[in-house]
Structure formats: C-alpha cells, structure tokens
Structure 1
C-alpha cells in the first residue's frame, strides 16, 4: 500500500493528523540526512587489513575511525564517544588485528557489561577474518559464566588473541588467579572497554577500583596496555575514563558516520502511556514497519507483550518481548529473528539499549522518558542503521522529567548530554577492593596508588579491623583472607541482603540500604514477574525470607529522617543562599508501611514496623533558607514546611537532567530548623553508602539546579502538585505536607538574592554533641568564621573530668595478672567450670611498686582486696579464665574492675585468637617458657617454685606486650602463611 521510502514519513503524518491521537503530539522535529565524512590514515594499513575492509564493502574509514585508529596505533589511549551505529567496533578491532599480524603473541582483553554484547561482538570479530586460512587467523573466545569448565581451562592454558569477558569474570576469576593467566597477561597489548558510559554510579565506583587492580597486575608482568574506551554520546567522556582508570585518554566525539533522515515525535497521551504505545505499535505493524518498543519496567514489557500475543491477529508470531530474566538461548533466538526480519517488533526493557545488533529498524517507541538524553539517543539510535528514514516517538509518563521535556521539547535538542559520574574513592567500595588487591599482590607502601590519602585512610581502617595485615617493617601489606573477592558485588554497595524462598533458594539480592525499604517484613517484592511477600528480615545473617503468592496491593514505607553534617568540603553562594557540598550521616527510622491497591493506588491500610534505624554515611548538597525568605513565605499565609518539602522533591526529580542517574539513587531531607545550620535547610544526598559522585557533580552546577527546579514546578499545569512536579513516589511521609504554590514563591524570593550571606564568610560546623543526660537533647555549635580561619571552641578547664589516666593516656597504676590452677578443664567437666579449678599460684605485677607479687591459694582474700587498688588490671584471657577461677573466692563481681584483656582486644581486631606464645615470640623474641599442662604436672609433683617462675614469666611477657603496644600502636604475630605481621592495638 505504501512505497517503502515513504512509509515512515506517512506514519508520522498520519499520527499528527489522527483525530484520536493528533492533539497529543506536542512536538515534531526532523533531523536531516547527514553525509558521511571519510579520511585517510596517516600510515597506510597493511594489505591484509585493506583486503579485510574490502571484503566488508568498506573503501575508506569514517573520519572518527581514522583519527581514533591513528592514535591507537601510536600507542595512545582513546575514548570514542559517538552515536550508535557509527562503526566503533572497527576502531578497536582493526588495530588489534594489525598488531596480531606484527606479533602473533599479542593479546587483547575486551570488556563488555553484558554477555549478549560479547556474543554479538564475537561474531563480528570472527567474520572480519573468516576468509583467512584458519592457521593464520587471530582467535577470539568468550570467557563468562556460560563458558564450561573444560573451555575455561583451555582458554587459560592456550589463550586466544582476543579474550571477550565481563567485569565479574575479571574480578572473580582472572585477577584472583592471575598466576594462571601469565601467558595472557604478559602479552596483553590492548584493553577494550565497550559501553563505558554504563560504568557510573555505584558500579562505576566498583569499576574504578577494578581497573586499578588490573593495572597493578599488568605492572607486575611488565605490561602497560593501551586502553580503548567506547561510549555513547556522553557529556564528560575524558573525565569519566580518568576517574575509572587514572588514565587521561584522547577524546574523539565528532562522528563521520552518515545518518538518514530521522523524525522525533514527543507525545503527551491523554490515556496511559502503555495504551498510547499499543495504538502506535498497532499502526506500525499495519504498515509492516520494523519496530522496537522500549519500556521502563518488566511489568510494562509484559503488559504490552500480552496485548501483542492476544490481540495482534496476523502479527501474533512476529512480536516478542525481550528482558532480563529470559534464558540466554531465548535472548539469542530473539536477537537472531529480529536481525533476519522474521520478527517484526520487539518489546524490551533497557536490556536492548546497548549495541547488540538486531538489524535495521524503522521505528522506536519509547514508553516513558528513559531518564537521560544519552539513553534516549542511544535507544533512538537503534533505528535507521541502514541510513533509511526512521522515527522515534517519545510517549511521556507523569514523571517530572517526562513532563519537563513535554513543556520544553526544544531544550532536549539544544542541551548537551548528561555527565556520567562516579566516586572512585567511595570509602565502602574502596576498602573492599583494597582487600582484594592485597590478596592478589601484596600492597607496598611505596606504590603510587597506596600513597593516595583516601587509600591510606582506607588501609588504616582495614588494619584496625584485621582485614589487612602490615609486616614487621611496616612497608608491606597482606590480606588476612585468601579470597575476599566473592564477598564483593560489583553492582552493589554496602552489605548485600539475599532474598530466599521458603525452601532456601536465593531468588534475588538487594543492597543493605535498600533492604530496609524493600524487604522489610510484610513488603511486596517483585522478581521476574512474580509476586513475593517478605515474611522475615534477619539482620544477623543478612537474609530476607519470602513467600510466593499473588496480592492485589503494593507496599510503600513510612519513615522520618534526620541528617548530621560530618564535613563541609566546598561551598558557594547562589540564588540568595549558601549551597554546601560535604559528607553527611543520614539516619532514617522506618515506622511502618502502607498497603496500596494496584488499581488506582488507594490506601488500604498502614502496618507499624519495629526495625533498627537505617544509618549510613554519604555525600550530599544542602542549602540554607534565609530567615527573611521564611518570613515572606509565612506572611503570604503559605505553608513553609510544605514549601521546602515540595522544593526538595522537585529538585531530586530534576537532577537527572544534569547527572546520569535515576531519582531512586538520590535521597532528600527538608527541615524547618537544622541544629548545625541554625536555619531552615534542604538536603539532597546520594542514596548509597559512601556516595557515588552524583551530588558532587550537581554542586558544580548549583545555579542550574535552582533554575531547573523552579521551571519544573512553575510550568507544570497542575494546581496543587502532582508526580510531574512536587510529588515523590518514594516519600516516607506520603507527600505530606506539600505546598506547590509555596515552593514557587520561595524560589522566586530566593532568586532576588536579598538575603545572600556575606561572600567573605565561610560556613563550618561542629559535629553534633553527645546526648545530654540532664536535658535529653543534643548540643551543637554552629560557627561562621572569616575565610581561612579555623575556630576550635575551648573547653573550660574546670569542666574537664578527672581521669584515672595520666597526661600520656596511661593508667596511673596498673596491674598485670596471671593464674595457674590445680585442676585441668577435663577434671572439672570443661572450661565453663573454671570456677572449680582452684588456684595453685597467682602472680601480679604492680606498676607503682614495679614488683612481681606471688600469691598462693590461701592468699586469695589479700589478692582480691589488692585488685581494688588499681586503675586497670591487664591480663591475657583474664575475663574468661582468670576471673572465672577467682570467682570461687570473691565476694564481689570481678568484671566490675577496670580490665584490659589483651587476648580479647586482639580477637576483636582479627576475628580469631592468637596465642601469647605467638605474640611474645614475634613481638619480643620471648616465647613462653612452658604451658598450662606442664604447670598442672608440676602441681601434682609439688614443684611450686617452677610454677611461680613460669607464671611470672607469662606476666612479664603480658606486661611487655602491653608496653610495646602502648608505645608502637601494634603487636606482631606470625600468621598462617608464616609471615610476621602487625596487629594494630589502641590501649
């Protein structure tokens, strides 16, 4: 019925003129044809490469391919950030194949975020040299979770020219066992990082450490590979790659690839977005247009697919869903059928956003704004791959960003793509990878990476918890665990909670921060299209128990939050106020959860919850609301708390325009009076432990943050507030109170700048004080000081409490105690009956007298009275053993004495026990002279002097260990690997 060349234009025209849908089209823009720009390489390719290109029908490369390959061939790192279908795979494949021709032993590591991408690129690579003799071809192999053990071993022992894998395999298999990969790593010339823009936020922070670990191992084998980064169009490609690897690449963003005419249609539907998408898809199918429909959720994918399966008539077998959760073979089959044309349409989540080849499509329908300009262009780039005319239709939802671009469509095309941000020094993530790095290769204090202040701070914390161990010289750092890698999830932060079915099968996992909100008892949890109810949340084992079953409601938590400012990192004056960026401690108390009907969201009831507070440290921005602005809002009889609450929601909703993120990765708090700020304040923070760099980047665009926030609220057509402007789907107080008009008035008053703080003043805060026993309130101090000065409030001398320690922190008088017994644990029925063992000899060292005092059993009353004279009593296993033995003679609770148990202190650091003999030998070169069994034998032989001498020697070792630890801050012991290492102590 339609000429092929006119089909897309006719489809768009029919949509605009449709009586039912035409008035829902708010914008239509045609991007004209773009001609190809070719260029010649500075250095000609070998004849084999020229022939290879000719076999692909390529006479000359696009300009960006030429420029990129020139740099790569010269050994320079590059990042190529050009649109979808611009031929980026040739950029890395050609130099790798050329290097193979020069050096058959050269190797390349290709990293893809998805298995499907590796499968797709494997076929592409193989096809390039398929016409070469088999023995002369470079080999490529995939190494991922689907690779059988047989082929894994074969790949390790005889590595291919190109190894295609994913971050998880690099993290869990290659780096921990790098000694099995020597042949590959020692010849590694290229590292290709495809779809690098996906490595942002939490995963980006993990990848930043993973790449640093890879570079450490490469350095061990004397290798410095060339990095080739490929990305969708992103706002900060160089900064992204530098944060990920520490490498500064050459940036190539100007594409020389051609592009056919492309229609962009923005549609704001009267009905639901899914209903509008179904109508659009139906019309496309009638025209035989090859179509991809992108949805924002699995549920939406299934909904549209259900219609396709039931009501599409003749097209029933030519439509398929595609999402995570499908088996790999199912996904491969769908990809192949789309590429061949057997399938006419596919309905997908973001799983098909990346560069998997599914052929040349005519139409892309976006059901809801994908969350970023970059993703919209990436998904839209699926169409018109053969340079034919194509169309992209964006069907808006009610989300703030969707509606913002419906009201400002031209801005979508005029503003640059968002920046991809990450926090390479997220302290939680950094510590986990340092542990892995030390297990791979011992860390050296002289390493450039180790000398970074953030890394040094993380190492110190890991030493304090016994997860890293420093050698006696203090220059080499070992991992306490042999394989800590399996406890690190590259796609999560903090402690991971596992969700188990009734039979113990793990059905999913969730980060610790989200576990409180999504897997509390009573929560409805969705997994692979099935509904589960959470029955139990165990914080000790970090597991949630779930029961399968359909329910007609969903759940949403109710909570209240507070935040403490830990550190002010930076600040700026903007929009009549001061905006700060810094470190925060967020405390969220979840009081209960709502049950809301799936149909219409009606509140069905509220169930109280009693779970521990959620406390985590992160990064955030905040600004103070000038008191004059507060008065102006109140004078207008507007709800002040509702105004700042609405402003907070709107700001979180609009930030994804500036930063590549989802609003669910951000949190916020608005308060009419913050103790540390001393004024009303609004906080927006990264919603994950340690921060992901989101608000750090937003701070650099402070003016635009306010500007966009005002625009989204002011321009929304609703009267009282809605999800498109000031309502949040995850608000812990149920969007109460909210005053849309108040937020507009407040922002406009701030924009006047009348209450702007003085520019020569900086804002600093004192941490919130401890809870006062008398008043039950927190004490805090807010300091506004001249720039460059640091103020520390003085504590009056007469208010300082007297202490049982001297000026250097030592107990004024301490004792060291050890006891030998008359009976063994076996004789009294076990160690738990130590009170029946009876004392043979006790030896006490008195620091005041600098003397060792011996006590026999009949002297126990005198010893017990003497113990009351000391400011601290020191022993080795004194609490569980010595005090237990003495309890048979005591008329008071010995545990009430001020006691330092060296064994207990060290066990807390290392999570395992270390013997006194080990510590004495390694630290003092003073091993024990005997043991408890020998002392029991001496008792039976009546050799009291030998027991006393041995017991005194143990007291001397314990005393000297205490003194050594006090002076040096550590003791030494010999670990299982026979290495003499430090254990930090702080007594």
Structure 2
C-alpha cells in the first residue's frame, strides 16, 4: 500500500486511502446445556472457548428459538449450526437436519467440514451421517438416501422445491424426525429468488407440521442491515438476531483508485505488483468475460508467477472448480480472478489482498468480498478500482461514504403475488390447503387462493373447506431463480444448449439479431421460438454489440400510501407495467458509437409490481424551463440518477429496477417520476426506498453535482439499460429539478404500512334470477349424428321438439318443427338464453331452418363454461347428480327411439325435464357462484362459474 501511494505512476490515481484498525476477539464460555460428548468433540477440534456471538447463538438455538446470525466472513458461523446438530444426535439418534445452501460448491464445502467433525465423536454409532442430495446426485444414490436418510441431508432450494416436498411421502421418516433446518447465506435470497424461497420455506413448514415436526430454523448471513427482519420475512417466524461479532479482525488498508486508463488495465498492473510481492490475491470482476481477459493478459506478460493465477467463474465444470478451490486453500495458487462465484463462504484459505474491478453494487457484497482476506487476523488490503458506473464515481467523489459504508437492507417480499400464486398451487398438490390454516388466514394469501379457485388452478371441495391442485405436478413449471418460463439458448451447429434465459428478459437480451456472450465466445441470435421455449444463436465474430430499444408504460393499479415532502409528494403502490421492445441498435465495440437501428416486432410484456412515484409540481418544471433546460430531459436524467443510486439504500442491482419519467401522467395529473421493482409481484425494494425517499433525492442530487462531465455520462445520468438510448437527457435540468424537489434531510420519513393491502380479486358475479329476463332452452332431434355423417353435420339432424323455460312467465313453452319461426322469435326476446352445449349443438340444429344470427343472443352455455374452467367436459347428468342430487329421466338415444315410434309426449316430457335441470343448475350457479362435480376418487369439488 505504501508502494502504491508512493508510485509515480499510480500515486495520482489513488483517490482516497484509509487504514482501519483491527479489533481483538471477544470470547465466552461454552453453553452449560451442551451435551458432554459434544463438548469433548469441540475440545478435540481446538475449541476450548467460543466467540461471544457463537455462544449467544448456540444458547438461543439449543433453547429452541429460531435464530439468524449475521456476522462477517470467517467468523465461525458453521459451528453455530453444526454444534446443535451434534447435540441433537447425541441425545436422539433419530434426530434429522436439513441444510440448504444456495450453491453446490457451498454444499460440498460444508459436507467435508461436517464429515470431519463427525469423525471426532467418541461413539461412532452416535456420529451424525451426512449426504448431499442435489442435481449431481445419481438416481441410485437418491433412492438410497430416501430409503435411509442420514442425520443430515445437504441440498439446495431447487431440490427442496422439486424433490423433497412433492414426494414428501417418500421422505416421511425424515420429516417426522426433523429437528433442525439450516438456511445459509440468507442475504442472497432477495428479488425473485427471495420471493420464491419465502414460499418454499412456508411449504416446508406445512409438510413438517403434517408429520408432527417443528424444527428450529437457523439462518446464517453476511452482514446486512436488519437481518432479523430479513429472516422473519423469509421463514415467516419470529427470530432471535445475533449480529455483534466476537471474531477478531486484523487491520485493513482500503484504497479507492480512479484509473487513468481502463479499470481492467489498472487491475492487471496491480495484480502483477501483488504477484511480485507474493501477496495472495483475489480479483473480483463484474463479468465472466472480464475475468477471463484479465487472467489472459497477466499470463501474456510472461510474469514468472503467472502460472499461479487462475480464473474461477460460473460455467466451469465441478471438478475444475474443486481443483481451483483446493489449490487456493493449499497455497499453491497465488491469485484467482473471479466473478461473484467466490463471494460466498466457500473455504479458500487465507488471502492478503482483494481487488474489486468496479463497485460490486452493494456495500454488503463489498465487505463480504473483502472478508476473503485477512482471515487469520493479519493486516490485509482492499482496493476498489472505479468503473464508469454512477455509484463508482459517487464513491470517488465521496470516499467517506465508502469507508464508512454500512451494509444495505436485504429485503424479501413474502407475498409477491407471482411467486405466491405459483407456490400455493404446489402446496395444494402436496397436501390439500385447508381453510383453517394460519397461512391461508392471511388476507393477501386468502385473496390469491380465491383468485386461483376462480380460474380453476385450485379446486375447491364442495363444502368449501379445502383446496386441491388441479394439476398433479405443478412444480415443474415453477423456476425459483427466474420469473417466468425458461428458454434454452441453443447453438444449432452443435445442437448444444449454451445457456438459459427467463421469459422476462427474453426479448431484452436474446431478441433476433442480439449479440450474446457465453464463456468468452460471441454468438448472434438467429431466431426465437417462444412456443417451444428455444432461442437459436450461432457463433460469430463481430466488432459490435447490441443495445435494446424499448418503451414502458405504467398504470397505477392501487395507491397504498403517500407522503408530502417539502415541495412534492411521494407515493407507493401497485403498478401495471407494459414493457415493449421496439428494436435494437448495433454499437461499435471500439468507440461505443451507434451504427444502425433495427426495428423489432416483439410482444409486449405486461406485469404487476410495486413502485414509488414522485409527483412533480408545475413550479419545479417552471424553474427548469426558466434556466433554458428541457423539462423532459430533466425528468429523464433525474430518474436515471435516482435508479443508479438506489442500490445504496437497498440490496438491489440497478438491473433489478425499472423506471419511467413523464411530463404528464393521468393518475397524478402532473409530471411524475416512477421507480419500480423490475420483477412481477415486486421484490420489496420500492417499499424500502419509500421510507428513505428524502435520502434517495439527496443522493441522486449528489451524483449529478459531483460529476465533472458537461452534459451527462454513465457516471451520473446515462443508463446502460435505457430503452430510448439516453434521449432526451438534460443533466443541468435534472440538477435544478432535484434541488427543487429535495426537502431538508431532517424531514421525517413517511409512514409505511407493515404489510401491503390484500390484492383486489375479481369474484363471480351474483345475479338475482328475478332481476333479469332469461330463458332456458333445449331441443331433441329426429336424427342421430351417425345418421347425418357426424356431429359437425348438426344442421341436418332436424328438430323433433324444443322447450323454452321463460323466467318472466315462470312457465315452459313447447315448440314443434312447424313452430320454428315462433321459437326463434321467443329466443330473441330474452335478455339471456341458457343452455347446455347450446352453442355447438342446439343453435347448429336451428341453423338448418333459419338465417337468424344466433351470435346476436346473449348466451350462457354451461357446458362451455365448465370446460373452460376444468379443461374437460362434464355431462349434464354428472353435474345434476353432484350439484342437485337429481338424475336425468332418459338420454338422447331414448328420444331418437321415441321419435321413430311416434311417442312425441315422452320426448316433450324428457326435453322439459332436461330444461328444468339446466334451469336449476343455472339458478344454483347464480346464487353460489359455482356448481359441484366429483373426481375419479369420488371427492366432490366446486367448479366456479362467473355468470
């Protein structure tokens, strides 16, 4: 660090430096309630005393309290959940635990640690066994684990969702004895993954309750603001929070670099200097391509230490990742260039220096990554090289904000409607949902259940006390790390899958003509095949990249809360976003200049989410105009600056957010700036930003004020994801606008409801049969479908008789073939015509006699409505038996035989009876909003009908 600051070349690039003194460890004795055998294991492992946070957490867990531990990297969090496991098994050999890790590498690392610890147990019969159950586990091993589950099953969220919960009956002994559930790295469960994970945990708790188990949840996290709230949102239970670390920390050198050349070039020079000093170094980049290039450039320089540098990123084969991890841990590697893949708690040994190529997007990630160095308490260094992003330059201009930066709040939206709806169906497929479940009793959940029941995705039992899933295995359609359908990206030359992309990002990142990068290889998207969920991309060398062009519209669905600031109003609520990709432009890689704009005909993507909006008063716009600035450009630039700085307030990436600025919005009646969560249902980011709206405005203003550019750049008001190509943009106008909007910093935060209101659900209408004039119609024919050549020839079947029940007359009217004109005239007088298969059959028979347009009639076809809801047909007799306890007096074949025999009275009686049954079913559906049917197992369900 001294050499860096004293360097003639690099010294002037050091924008700021700070030394943070270390701190000694704080110890506490082992909890007295620990089993003696476990204390002996800890002694053998070298733990004669514990860090204070370890002792506090163990006491809480052993007392049966759900606990979250949020302390820095290398503070010994593994001990906090392994010791309760050892204690449980020592007291009860049948005790079981479930360990959930977000990454396979973490699972492997913790498995090895647990095996080592178990090997220290005196009595091998009391030593906990462990097994990894994930996508790499073969079928034989999976069957073996299910038949005889070990003490600990180590897995990931996807396997809990797809394998354990849907097949819980195969895991019954495991769930029956489950005492401990560990969820590691809970700060990674945010955005859509967090919303899904919150529902997976609630489903897990339902299954445990079904088997009589009530496990203790132990959550481990990096340092985040308010970890207790995060854990409670995730698991839905109150938790004990431990966030004061007793682990020692060595002194730390921090430096901010404002590079004269590119950030990657500065990183290469710093890495070479570190290698020459034999400093064990980790370099974090923002992309896989950058990681590969930095390592390649170092090796091309023929540095004698270059062979001791390796790349670690997503996409490497598991054996390659294990090899690199082992070399790092042993000291064989001097340096590793990594993406975020090494951010989490994989044990890679002791390092000296951390270089960040660009700000990672959050202080939580910054301190998590820097926690990789100085793990043994020795002095360590952190260097952040600023990129072109607004946050990078914010820290260069405000270094104290970096050095004293606190971890952001990690937020989860536990009632994200998109995730909630998907997992309610999965939960009902696992175990029927019951009306008296506490989960279902929450207003927001109950509303979504009602909506799912109205669309037929959930089947309501006839008594209204339970809901069953309409599909047997809905789980396969739910992807935890995305927000929609997954599309494979295929190289047609090799017919191999090179990646996946979800529905939400499809036309933004993999539209026809898009340049797609994968493991350093450039591909051009040739075709997109949404029906088959495939994107075809061919390898191609090009000197340009692509940037999508799009427009967004925002409608306010429901305003939840508002707060008046000094000169403007901030609101929060549910928004409906229409995202329309209109085209893309090619940009030359060498200089960043646009080359060509190509239009695209892409489908609009519409989703509901949460967002905040600022109502901009006319006085603020007049101040912008008076200074000669463009009001639309000012609004647009202010929106970009606010979105760029928002990750300082919440643990979000700029790509997790969306925005819209307009000089007039119909909901506000004024100019407005909208910022919203960029995922369906909302992630909780906007709710956090609403409370800190004043801070958001002030920081956005600082970004603009402290940037030295003239007219706007990526460091202040340009956005790399702007759908209009950053046009129009007026930096100076944005400064004036934000100065007018930003109130004094001491302004009290707006009130925020604890939970959002329940979503509005469209329910079945209830019409009084006495308030509208309706008729119920049915007919019988002279000929069968076989006689005329098939059902599609219904015009030739000829009517033997028709019966109309008229609600106004409360009587039945009989029409014979000769009365056809009178029948049609009667039907045309009715406000509504009700029938059963009336559109595809009865009207088709009548069409053989008349040119009357039956589509003019307002028709209710009960058969069609039932089929639309259930996906299959039900007979009139089935519905009559299940709903009314009535049966048909005959069938169509009887009526045909009676016609041949000339028994018209019996035909009329039969037809009148069918009309009566159809009428009674209609009246029942009007009153109740549903009919009743039975499935193959004889369970009676409701079929909702909106009449």
Give the TM-score range, shorter chain.
over 0.9
- 2:16 corresponds to which of 27, 39, 59: 27
How far apart, CA to CA, are the structure 2 residues paired with 1:906 and 1:520? 38
CA contact (8 A) 1:41 1:67 kept: no
Moved more, 965-974 or 878-887: 878-887
Going from structure 1 to structure 2, the CA distance change for 1:21 and 1:636 (only over 3 Å counts) comes to same
- 1:829 corresponds to which of 779, 789, 795: 789
Q: Does 1:294 align with 2:284?
A: yes
- 1:95 corresponds to which of 55, 77, 84: 84
Per the alignment, residue 673 of structure 2 pairs with: 682
How far apart, CA to CA, are the structure 1 residues paired with 2:522 and 2:792? 49
Per the alignment, residue 226 of structure 1 pairs with: 216
Per the alignment, residue 730 of structure 2 pairs with: 739
Per the alignment, residue 46 of structure 2 pairs with: 57
How far apart, CA to CA, are the structure 2 residues paired with 1:659 and 1:900? 51
- 2:314 corresponds to which of 324, 340, 345: 324
Question: Cα deviations across residues 942-980 of structure 1 (Å, max 9, x unaligned)?
Answer: 444433333222221111111100011111111233210
How far apart, CA to CA, are the structure 2 residues paired with 1:946 and 1:510? 63
Per the alignment, residue 79 of structure 1 pairs with: 68
Per the alignment, residue 757 of structure 2 pairs with: none
State the Cα distance separating 1:753 from its structure 2 match.
8.0
Going from structure 1 to structure 2, the CA distance change for 1:318 and 1:934 (only over 3 Å counts) comes to farther
Going from structure 1 to structure 2, the CA distance change for 1:41 and 1:437 (only over 3 Å counts) comes to same
Partner SS, residue 687 of structure 2: helix
Going from structure 1 to structure 2, the CA distance change for 1:501 and 1:950 (only over 3 Å counts) comes to farther
Q: Does 1:708 align with 2:668?
A: no
Partner SS, residue 672 of structure 1: strand
Question: Cα deviations across residues 542-601 of structure 1 (Å, max 9, x unaligned)?
Answer: 554444433332222222222211211111122421111111112233322111122222
Query: 1:249-328 maps to which residues of 2 (within 5 A)?
Result: 249-328=239-318
Query: 1:333-344 maps to which residues of 2 (within 5 A)?
Result: 333-344=323-334
Query: 1:962-973 maps to which residues of 2 (within 5 A)?
Result: 962-973=922-933
Per the alignment, residue 952 of structure 1 pairs with: 912
CA contact (8 A) 1:821 1:936 kept: yes
Partner SS, residue 874 of structure 1: strand
How far apart, CA to CA, are the structure 1 residues paired with 2:140 and 2:781? 59
How far apart, CA to CA, are the structure 2 residues paired with 1:189 and 1:872? 60
State the Cα distance separating 1:37 from its structure 2 match.
1.2
Going from structure 1 to structure 2, the CA distance change for 1:577 and 1:905 (only over 3 Å counts) comes to same
Moved more, 884-893 or 837-846: 837-846
Using the size of structure 2 for normalisation, the TM-score is 0.95
Going from structure 1 to structure 2, the CA distance change for 1:115 and 1:963 (only over 3 Å counts) comes to same
How far apart, CA to CA, are the structure 2 residues paired with 1:227 and 1:346? 35
Partner SS, residue 673 of structure 2: strand
Question: Cα deviations across residues 62-98 of structure 1 (Å, max 9, x unaligned)?
Answer: 1111111111111111111000000000011111101
Per the alignment, residue 770 of structure 1 pairs with: none
How far apart, CA to CA, are the structure 1 residues paired with 2:826 and 2:24? 95
Residue correspondences, number: 930
- 2:101 corresponds to which of 99, 104, 112: 112
Per the alignment, residue 626 of structure 1 pairs with: 617
Per the alignment, residue 534 of structure 1 pairs with: 525
Going from structure 1 to structure 2, the CA distance change for 1:329 and 1:630 (only over 3 Å counts) comes to same
Moved more, 826-835 or 64-73: 826-835
State the Cα distance separating 1:270 from its structure 2 match.
1.1
How far apart, CA to CA, are the structure 2 residues paired with 1:831 and 1:298? 61
- 1:698 corresponds to which of 685, 689, 696: 689
Per the alignment, residue 135 of structure 1 pairs with: 125
How far apart, CA to CA, are the structure 2 residues paired with 1:524 and 1:938? 72
Question: Cα deviations across residues 6-42 of structure 1 (Å, max 9, x unaligned)?
Answer: xxxxxx1111122222211112222223211111134
Partner SS, residue 567 of structure 1: strand
CA contact (8 A) 1:839 1:885 kept: yes
How far apart, CA to CA, are the structure 2 residues paired with 1:395 and 1:606? 33
Partner SS, residue 742 of structure 1: helix
Per the alignment, residue 37 of structure 2 pairs with: 48
Moved more, 951-960 or 860-869: 860-869
How far apart, CA to CA, are the structure 1 residues paired with 2:367 and 2:33? 34
Partner SS, residue 852 of structure 1: strand
Per the alignment, residue 335 of structure 2 pairs with: 345
State the Cα distance separating 1:223 from its structure 2 match.
1.4
Query: 1:481-520 maps to which residues of 2 (within 5 A)?
Result: 481-502=471-492, 507-520=498-511
Query: 1:709-788 maps to which residues of 2 (within 5 A)?
Result: 709-751=700-742
Question: Cα deviations across residues 231-278 of structure 1 (Å, max 9, x unaligned)?
Answer: 000001010011111212111111111122221111111111111111
How far apart, CA to CA, are the structure 1 residues paired with 2:496 and 2:222? 38
Per the alignment, residue 759 of structure 2 pairs with: none
Q: Does 1:416 align with 2:376?
A: no
Q: Does 1:657 align with 2:648?
A: yes
State the Cα distance separating 1:927 from its structure 2 match.
2.7
How far apart, CA to CA, are the structure 1 residues paired with 2:526 and 2:288? 24
How far apart, CA to CA, are the structure 2 residues paired with 1:901 and 1:448? 38
State the Cα distance separating 1:809 from its structure 2 match.
7.8
CA contact (8 A) 1:806 1:812 kept: no
Query: 1:926-945 maps to which residues of 2 (within 5 A)?
Result: 926-945=886-905
Partner SS, residue 449 of structure 1: helix
Moved more, 235-244 or 880-889: 880-889
- 1:899 corresponds to which of 855, 859, 862: 859
CA contact (8 A) 1:41 1:66 kept: yes
Question: Cα deviations across residues 454-478 of structure 1 (Å, max 9, x unaligned)?
Answer: 0111011101110111111111111
How far apart, CA to CA, are the structure 2 residues paired with 1:521 and 1:882? 48
Q: Does 1:918 align with 2:878?
A: yes
Moved more, 324-333 or 165-174: 324-333
Q: Does 1:816 align with 2:776?
A: yes
Listed as ranges, the gaps of 5+ residues in structure 1 are 1-11, 761-804
Partner SS, residue 664 of structure 2: coil
Moved more, 964-973 or 127-136: 127-136
Q: Does 1:579 align with 2:570?
A: yes
How far apart, CA to CA, are the structure 1 residues paired with 2:885 and 2:311? 70
- 2:25 corresponds to which of 25, 33, 36: 36
Partner SS, residue 673 of structure 1: strand
State the Cα distance separating 1:751 from its structure 2 match.
3.7
Per the alignment, residue 405 of structure 1 pairs with: 395
CA contact (8 A) 1:176 1:439 kept: yes
- 1:166 corresponds to which of 149, 153, 156: 156
- 2:431 corresponds to which of 426, 437, 441: 441
How far apart, CA to CA, are the structure 2 residues paired with 1:751 and 1:313? 52
CA contact (8 A) 2:633 2:733 kept: yes
Per the alignment, residue 9 of structure 1 pairs with: none
Query: 1:541-552 maps to which residues of 2 (within 5 A)?
Result: 542-552=533-543
Per the alignment, residue 359 of structure 1 pairs with: 349
Moved more, 27-36 or 459-468: 27-36
How far apart, CA to CA, are the structure 2 residues paired with 1:826 and 1:312? 86
Q: Does 1:646 align with 2:637?
A: yes
How far apart, CA to CA, are the structure 2 residues paired with 1:913 and 1:925? 19
State the Cα distance separating 1:48 from its structure 2 match.
2.6
CA contact (8 A) 1:494 1:689 kept: no
CA contact (8 A) 2:559 2:571 kept: yes
How far apart, CA to CA, are the structure 1 residues paired with 2:885 and 2:495? 50
Going from structure 1 to structure 2, the CA distance change for 1:874 and 1:541 (only over 3 Å counts) comes to farther
Going from structure 1 to structure 2, the CA distance change for 1:543 and 1:832 (only over 3 Å counts) comes to farther
Partner SS, residue 623 of structure 1: strand
Q: Does 1:16 align with 2:8?
A: no
Question: Cα deviations across residues 704-741 of structure 1 (Å, max 9, x unaligned)?
Answer: 11111111111111111110110001111111111111
Question: Cα deviations across residues 640-668 of structure 1 (Å, max 9, x unaligned)?
Answer: 11111110000000000000000111111
Partner SS, residue 18 of structure 2: strand
Using the size of structure 1 for normalisation, the TM-score is 0.91
CA contact (8 A) 2:767 2:926 kept: no
How far apart, CA to CA, are the structure 2 residues paired with 1:180 and 1:959? 47
- 1:883 corresponds to which of 801, 822, 843: 843
